Amino acid sequence: MVHDPLSQIFGALADPTRRAILARLTAGEASVSDLAKPFLGEMSLPAVTKHLKVLEKAGLISKGRDAQWRPCRINGEPFKDVVGWLEQYRTFWEESFDRLEEYLKTVTKPKGKGKRHGRKKQPE
């Protein structure tokens, strides 16, 4: 099955292991074995390698050219594509952030008042 680039990117992101690998790579380049380490209790090395291949095919990561040490790194390009795609939904997610802000106003401590432990606003 041939996937369009965006479907491939979203498909690659639709897995918690792959997202954890990406999160690890925000700290810098890493070898396959380093990336695999945290997962080896729950899955095999070939399973991790397969996840890396999905990320690589989607363009989210790439491997260095050094024959000795081919570290994985994040590619910004597909993230940029997702950000660009999300732009058309801005009004929807901004509305959602506004509602969050409104909610947070009701649960956070008003300035100059005493400490408040509950989540609900108390009557003054």
Least distance from a second copy to the Cβ atom of residue 85, Å: 8
For binding to a second copy (CB under 8 A), which residues are involved?
Answer: 3-4, 6-11, 13-16, 19, 22-23, 26, 74-77, 79-80, 82-83, 85-86, 88-89, 92-97, 100
- Smaller CB distance to a second copy: residue 48 or 60? 60
Instruction: Between 34 and 94, name the residue whose CB sits nearer to a second copy.
Output: 94
CB of 93 to a second copy, least distance (A): 4
Q: Residue for token digits 């890493």?
A: 30
Looking at the Cβ atoms of 37 and 81, the one nearer to a second copy is 81
Regarding beta strands 61-63 and 72-74, do their DSSP bridges make them parallel or antiparallel, or are they unpaired? antiparallel
26 or 68: whose CB is closer to a second copy? 26
Smallest separation, CB 45 to a second copy (Å): 22
Q: How far is CA 59 from CA 16, 56, 73, in A?
A: 17, 5, 10
Q: What is the largest CA-CA distance in the chain?
A: 69
The CA distance from 85 to 66, in Å, is 34
Integer Cα distance of 55 and 21 in angstroms: 9
